[in-house]
Amino acid sequence: MLAGLAAILGAAVAEAEPRARDLGVPFDGVPGPLNAITDVAGVEVGFRTLNSGEGPLVRGKGPVRTGVTAILPRGKTDTRAVFAGYFAGNGNGDMTGTHWVDESGVLETPILITGTGSVGVVRDAAFRWLADRRQGFFWYPLVAETADVPLNDMAGQHVTAADAVAALDSARPGPVAEGNVGGGTGMVCNGFKGGTGTASRKLPVAAGGYTVGVLVQCNYGSANGLRVAGIPVAREMKLQPHCVTRLTSPPQATFGQAAALCDPKALAIADAPDTEHRGSIIIVIATDAPLTPEQLKRVARRASVGLGRLGAIESDGSGDIFIAFSTANAGADDGNWSFDPSRTATVTRLRSGAINPVLEATVQGVEEAVINALVAARTMTGADYWTVSALPHDQLQQVLRGHGLLKSPPSK
């Protein structure tokens, strides 16, 4: 009961956090009303956040800094499939269910994101959730991961089937919590505390008036590599490498190097500023533009361009995996469990020459969603007292102001 209440309160706090635009960070494009993936009508998002314990890491006991994020392309009540396409910028990660998406171009299930150690239990729970609510005998749930180490007891596999179901059942339209929430709870992004972020773009009427929404679980990148508005902002901040708030005996170590005690006057990032961070990012792109599977694969590929704006190189140690879907053409193809006796369907499709605004919106949305994740996340101390600092709002604004790039925050 208390854990459930804590999860609800945590999500509510995350929703109230300032976002990148509130700080004056400049972006291209026009966002939707919520600047979230749920600006695409029908999309619902839910979370289950697990944040408990402190002190030395004891496998199976904690500390726990993890969770589950659920994205339902048409919400809980509309069981129709969506056209989809996926792409891996670098494949050192996992996303189940993509073989059927690649084969058929159809996504029949929710999308769930969690920590690396919990893909199996979340996938099986999603299967059971579908079996309880839909016609048919089998599904291939789409479950993706990023690694929530060192903050979480990842090997302890604390996510349960009940947690996955809770994320699915809590899915709703409207504002989306960001930062230390759901599957993003224990993640690190560009050296700072990372997690969940979202954004959207509304295309002008002349380009169709479509909406593109993005949600990321951000756990990749180095501090020195991070670009905000094209500026390597972390290089102008006072940073210290990976550190702990309390030393143990024997002292904590990573990759054979003993831990340092954190200096409270400096930002504690995940690694030394110039260290390659072996992390990952999962990106979910939703749109109501009428796109077919091969076009949606093109959209998914453009997530890499958005990451490039942020300084990412999609390194060998990173799992950068992207899925794009369209809520248009409802009922055109429901995959394995289509009970429509007709053999054909009429599909509306953008001409190739009209797709550029959607691609541009995707790039812009990815860029903003990642920075929103960084802005919303809060400093976290996890297992073995390892600490990762949040991106400091004041220093970010100071750096951008020094380069003449800070905008006046939007009026409320």
Cα distance between residue 176 and residue 174, in whole Å: 6
Burial class (CB in 10 A: 0-12, 13-18, 19+), 400: buried
Q: Which amino acid is at 280?
A: S
SS3 readout for 372-394:
HHHHHCCCEECHHHEEECCCCHH
Peptide bond into 250 cis (omega under 30): yes
Q: Closest Cα to residue 112, out of 40, 161, 174, 180?
A: 161
What is the C-alpha separation between 274 and 169, in angstroms, rounded? 41
The answer to whether 67 and 114 have CB atoms below 8 angstroms apart is yes
What whole-number distance in Å separates Cα of residue 407 and Cα of residue 403?
11
Distance (Å, rounded) from C-alpha 317 to C-alpha 92?
6
Nearest C-alpha neighbor of 301 from the set 88, 119, 64: 88
The catalytic residues are 280, 318, 320
